Structure 1
């Protein structure tokens, strides 16, 4: 999201985004398009959007912690998360409890947490954190609990929109923002 678009967002949303110190992301349907690719032996593959990855790296560089919290297992999320420097939690049955544990470890409050997710397991953290974000294709029951919904769908740059919101609201957008080649 270009910084010029920040003025179009309401003050409450920008204030929420300015407080964030931990950004948590669901994986399937948020960092991916939600489709599961299984080979004949049951091994899964996932596709991640490279711009989302760049946004997550920028968050880390800006001092915002990043975590993947997913109810599913699988090595793809672990590999991608570690590649990007994120903490990764797979097979999580209670996402809110995991977020609270992260807050305790970091010495921050739930108000300083953004959580991005797309379906019912993400609703409990949505209700508790300072900024709940849903991708454009989130299930309606979940999106109803979000403070903000991206224009892009999960796996198609939605996480980058969320990252850009956080960076822009905190005045931490890269110096080359808006530069032309």
Structure 2
């Protein structure tokens, strides 16, 4: 979907975002769990998503990861991308998000949550912008204000970043930066 095709209400929601929160498994990854012979877990992240997250941060939007699982590769990727707000092992993602919003002095309307599966529903219902990745569970799609064209781990997060940056008027400056 090109920026010209975004509905006005979606752009209005995205324009208010000051915190973009992402689930990890199934959202920043394709959702598959990979284990080596030694039992160590590996994950695959899409480089386009990483640049999108960095661009959000460079334009004043804070980024957070809230995930139910605990994984060393997530900590490594977050460190690489300078993501300060990383919450692993969160059984109650909504509560975690509320605590983060309180700490950052933000309202739920200023937050976006991007998810793919049932544990993502409670924080999605709370946020001003709820996004489902293309391959999300149908209930997650129903709860979303918008659904990406790309699947989790395949550039979906980048689509969300681009939407927010477009809605906040950063397109031209970003284009010039990369010329």
CA offset at residue 178 of structure 1? 8.3
Write the distance in 1 (CA, Å) between the matches of 2:77 and 2:10.
29
1:108: which partner in 2? 106
Could you say what secondary structure the match of 2:131 adopts? strand
Q: Report the counterpart of residue 152 of structure 1 in structure 2.
A: 150
Q: CA–CA distance in 2 between the matches of 1:168 and 1:180?
A: 15
| Distance in 1 (alpha carbons) for counterparts of 2:92 and 2:152 | 21
Contact 1:32 1:155 in 2 (8 A): yes
| Offset, 1:179 | 9.4
1:1-181 equivalences in 2 (<5 Å): 5-86=2-83, 87-173=85-171, 175-177=173-175
SS of alignment partner, residue 175 of structure 1: helix
User: Cα gap change, 1:117/1:180 in structure 2, threshold over 3 Å: closer, same or farther?
Assistant: closer
CA deviations on 1:103-127 (whole Å, 9 max, x unpaired) are 1111110000000000000000111
How far residue 42 of structure 1 moved from its aligned partner, in angstroms, is 1.8
Contact 1:55 1:160 in 2 (8 A): yes
Contact 1:82–1:88 (CA under 8 A) maintained in structure 2: no
RMSD: 1.6
Unmatched runs of 5 consecutive residues or more in structure 2: none
Q: Provide Cα deviations, 1:106-159, integer angstroms capped at 9, x if missing partner.
A: 111000000000000000011110000111011112111010000000000000
Q: State TM-score, norm by structure 2.
A: 0.95
Where in structure 1 are there 5+ consecutive unaligned residues? none
8 Å contact kept, 1:24–1:68:
yes
